[in-house]
Chain A
Amino acid sequence: MKCYRVFFAVWVVVASLSAADLPALWAERLKCVVAVEFFTETEVDRRPNVVFGVVVDTQGTIILPAAAIDSRVVPAQLKEFKVYRPSDPASAAGVYLGQDALTGWHFVRVEERLRPLLTPITQFVASGNAAEPSLAEEVWGIALRGKDEDFTPYFLQSRVALIQSLPQRTGIAQHEVAGPGLPVFNRDGSFVGLALSSFGQTFLQFSRADRGGSPTMLINVEESSVFHLTVEVLPYLSRVPQNEFGRPLAWLGAYGFEPMDREVATFLKLDAQSGAVVSEVLEGSPAEKAGMQARDIVLEINGRALPRFKPDRVVVSFVEREVERRVPGAPLSLTVLRGTERVDVKVTLGDEPKLMREAARRYFERLGFTAREFVYGDAISRRLKVADTAGIVAHFVKGNSPVSVAGLRMDDWIKEIDGVEPKSFAEAVEKLAAIQADAARTEFVLLVGRAGETAVLRVKLK
């Protein structure tokens, strides 16, 4: 009897993936995936990167997952985008369009020549399909081999194990179901989600971590078992950045949201209410102007209570996304608990101050470091009054270079060069360039700030 049952089960699986239709679906859907190669040029090296993306329109627009590009890398360091179709060693040129603040996606556009050979993922959206895959449903996807194997596609298949709001609707399959950044389909061939990279945000979100504990999870970097459902993908495909930095970027200026857990909520007589504690309100920010205070607990946004998530910490991303999805100038009404009192804070979102990745920078080869413009975030991270700050930041320090030997480290704040405080980045660059150009120079002196202390560094030039 047992024998029969096993036989029956096998028969069902075979029937459901009938040999005729799946290869056809596969072949059709291969046209919406690409491999994207680009180089990251730093001061001292040039590294190739290969990531996977999905085609989203007929204009040759491709989206890459957030973690496809290291967040420390600035757009100016990204070079030579090339787009490959699966199994095809020929490449087409691509242009980097920028990163979207809300989704984190990087957008790339491929040259016209290749566009007719590509199919947008939107072609595979089932009509009226907002439905989520159900638990235990079979899903499959595409993964790509490496460049040395001509990005040969291969088939992955799994079943949906769990669907969670993190805060995006996210499917977690039993095991790897697609390459990171590549689409996931159901048995009918309908697009059901976009596989996430195993790095970055997902690394934290899906790992088991106590507050402050270190995440522990083994990661397969080439394949992913986690995907955002279509409801988190389709509405955002048109968010093509207007510039490399994804501006305009909405700014609230409340820093360090921390989740309020269930026990704290009970203690504060908030029942099952979800909330996020504001750690700091930043100087000159829209939050400060609206009267928000450190230690306020955000309970509602625009009159709607914050949803309760599992785990609690997801509420932090939820609040941050509520800001990111808006534009500068938009109103945002927050209800906060201050002490024992409920207070309404009406914020008009501002324009994000210049980010570190937007800051001007210049590499000084002979000295051995990259000078970067001092921006708002530098003042905040060093707890300085924004108005009091001058100087530059050591963005990169080359090993064994003169400044490195003198003790300069990455992210040091250079307050003075040869005893003079530079009034602007341009002035600092001019001064450093003069030192670098002066072959007779044997030394110069930097006053450097690090963790609230200063040190005088004497740099010997050979």
Chain B
Amino acid sequence: MSRGFNRLLDAVVRIDVREVAFESGAQRYVSSIGSGVILSADGLVLTNAHVASPRAVELSITLSNLERVSAKLVGWDHWTDLALLRIDVADAQRRGLKFAIAEFGDSAKLFPGQTVFAVGTPHGLTRTVTRGIISNNNRYFEDTNGVNGYETGAFNTWLQTDAAINPGNSGGPLVTEDGRVVGISSRGYLGANNLGFAIPSSIARRIVDGLVAEGSITRSTIGLVPGALQDLENFYALALNTGVLINSVALGSPAARAGLRGGDILLAIDGVKVDGRFPEQLPPIQNLIANQPVGAKLRLTYKRGAQTAEVSVTTEKLESRVGEEWAFEKWGLSVRRVSRTFARENQLSSDNGVIVIGVQAGFPAEVAGLSRGDVITKINRQPVDALAVMQSAHAAFEAKPAPTLIEAQRDRRVSLYILKP
């Protein structure tokens, strides 16, 4: 192989992750393995968001020379399934550990049929190289809970490859013959043969820059759910390659408040024409909005029936539906904060409250009758407008156990429960 390829092999690492999981009504620690690739001399390692997330409590990197060194999370972005770690370089230097640095290639230049290699740690088998071709260089798919329950795929397309990608390959690089990183292997179809997907380097480079600068990627949203027009142009009396179908508008979102509705056709954003004829064209349109600063005013041109109109919409910050999680061990109760997105999707009257994500059998929450999916709105008559409200009630319970009143909603039914010591 090329020199570049050999150097790349020395830049691929195995990542052992220990992370906290809250689902069982208590804090539990689970371990997993993934792959990553070293990007810089100061120890930046790129991997998948589903490998290393803010839930990680211990990240251990195995270099190509089999030496281990610890790392910390710089930031993650579940929308593109990318996370950035930084190796404890001081420690590595002290121990005289050396590592190579990979270089990005240009994913935009890839063509279907081009040979690529996936490098990683499938099923814990360190430094495994598999070979395949680019099967498709612009694959669209969105998944509402693809990254450990978090949304993914709305803002990027994927490289599809038939290079074998197995669990553990996640976060490893997809490279060309010269060893340049053109993608980050992310997922494969279960039950299918050789249908693997990687995040293109063009996206990854931007995300890396953003994570280094701010630790997270801030995106704007107005609450539009776009759909591909496909062959609907006739029905909407549109010229081909014009406009994007608004399939749905999130309840309570800026677009909904501005009066946009499902079935409208978005023609232009700030005068820039949009073309959403095919699903692959949707992520760039989403990015057009996402890349605006939060609070920016956008001028949308849209068509409803025969009328074309303009409306001004102010963007808001894009949030995941998955809120912060916590476990109250004395109660055997795990919760997740109700996010704005979750509240809107479930038509809750406010985004106060926490969702029960787990109860432990025999503990007060389970005994009282709380179960997964209940939304706790009040505790001891106090609205749960922050996780801290629950945390202080739990602290009081820990210090001096006393019956605690919980008001919770299941579907639309409100019930009262007592957590008994």
Decide: B412 and A339 in contact? CB cutoff 8 A.
Answer: no
Chain B positions 402 through 415: 1 when the CB is less than 8 Å from some CB of chain A, otherwise 0 = 01010101101111
Would you give the shortest CB distance from A292 to chain B, in whole angstroms?
13
Residues from chain B with a CB closer than 8 A to the CB of A456 are: 227, 232, 245, 247, 262-263
A447-B263 contact, Cβ under 8 Å, with A456-B245, A458-B232: yes
Decide: A212 and B410 in contact? CB cutoff 8 A.
Answer: yes
A211-B232 contact, Cβ under 8 Å, with A277-B414, A419-B263: no
Residues from chain B with a CB closer than 8 A to the CB of A458 are: 230-232, 235
Report how far A297 CA is from B405 CA in the complex, Å: 14
Report how far A295 CA is from B249 CA in the complex, Å: 31
A260 on the B face (CB < 8 A): yes
Residues from chain A with a CB closer than 8 A to the CB of B403 are: 263, 266-267
Report how far A453 CA is from B253 CA in the complex, Å: 12
Decide: B405 and A256 in contact? CB cutoff 8 A.
Answer: no
The contact of A277 among B231, B236, B249, B416, by CB within 8 Å, is B416
Residues from chain A with a CB closer than 8 A to the CB of B247 are: 453-456
Residues from chain A with a CB closer than 8 A to the CB of B345 are: 451-452
A383 on the B face (CB < 8 A): yes
A294 on the B face (CB < 8 A): yes
User: B347's closest neighbor in chain A, by CB?
Assistant: A383
The contact of A454 among B248, B413, B418, by CB within 8 Å, is B248
Would you give the shortest CB distance from B223 to chain A, in whole angstroms?
11
Decide: A277 and B415 in contact? CB cutoff 8 A.
Answer: yes
B381 on the A face (CB < 8 A): yes
Chain B's interface size range is: 35 or more
Would you give the shortest CB distance from B251 to chain A, in whole angstroms?
5
Q: Which of B215-243 contact A (CB under 8 A)?
A: 225, 227, 230-232, 235-236
Decide: A264 and B347 in contact? CB cutoff 8 A.
Answer: no
Residues from chain B with a CB closer than 8 A to the CB of A264 are: 405, 416-418
Decide: A447 and B305 in contact? CB cutoff 8 A.
Answer: no
Decide: B248 and A263 in contact? CB cutoff 8 A.
Answer: no
Decide: A419 and B305 in contact? CB cutoff 8 A.
Answer: yes
Residues from chain A with a CB closer than 8 A to the CB of B225 are: 453
B261 on the A face (CB < 8 A): yes
Decide: B369 and A211 in contact? CB cutoff 8 A.
Answer: yes
Would you give the shortest CB distance from A314 to chain B, in whole angstroms?
15
User: A447's closest neighbor in chain B, by CB?
Assistant: B263
Report how far A416 CA is from B413 CA in the complex, Å: 31
User: A264's closest neighbor in chain B, by CB?
Assistant: B416
Decide: B369 and A212 in contact? CB cutoff 8 A.
Answer: yes
Residues from chain A with a CB closer than 8 A to the CB of B248 are: 453-455
A138 on the B face (CB < 8 A): no
B420 on the A face (CB < 8 A): yes
Residues from chain B with a CB closer than 8 A to the CB of A266 are: 403, 418
Report how far A445 CA is from B247 CA in the complex, Å: 12
B166 on the A face (CB < 8 A): no
The contact of B416 among A212, A260, A280, A415, by CB within 8 Å, is A260
B371 on the A face (CB < 8 A): yes
A255 on the B face (CB < 8 A): yes
Report how far A295 CA is from B247 CA in the complex, Å: 36
Q: Which of B360-417 contact A (CB under 8 A)?
A: 368-369, 371, 381, 403, 405, 407, 409-410, 412-417
Decide: A279 and B412 in contact? CB cutoff 8 A.
Answer: yes
Give 25 A-B contacts (CB < 8 Å), ordered by A residue.
Answer: A210-B369, A211-B415, A256-B414, A258-B413, A258-B414, A263-B418, A263-B420, A264-B416, A267-B403, A277-B415, A278-B414, A295-B407, A295-B414, A297-B416, A415-B262, A418-B235, A419-B235, A443-B235, A453-B247, A454-B248, A454-B249, A455-B227, A455-B248, A455-B262, A456-B232
Additional 18 contacts, C-beta under 8 A, given A212-B369, A256-B412: A210-B369, A258-B416, A264-B405, A264-B416, A264-B418, A266-B403, A268-B405, A279-B409, A383-B347, A419-B305, A443-B235, A449-B262, A452-B344, A453-B247, A454-B263, A455-B227, A455-B248, A456-B247
The interface of chain A, by Cβ under 8 A from chain B, is 210-212, 255-256, 258-261, 263-264, 266-268, 277-280, 294-295, 297, 339, 383, 415-416, 418-420, 443, 445, 447, 449, 451-456, 458
Q: 10 shortest A-B CB distances, which residue pairs? A: A454-B262, A263-B418, A279-B414, A256-B413, A447-B263, A453-B248, A454-B248, A264-B416, A258-B415, A211-B369
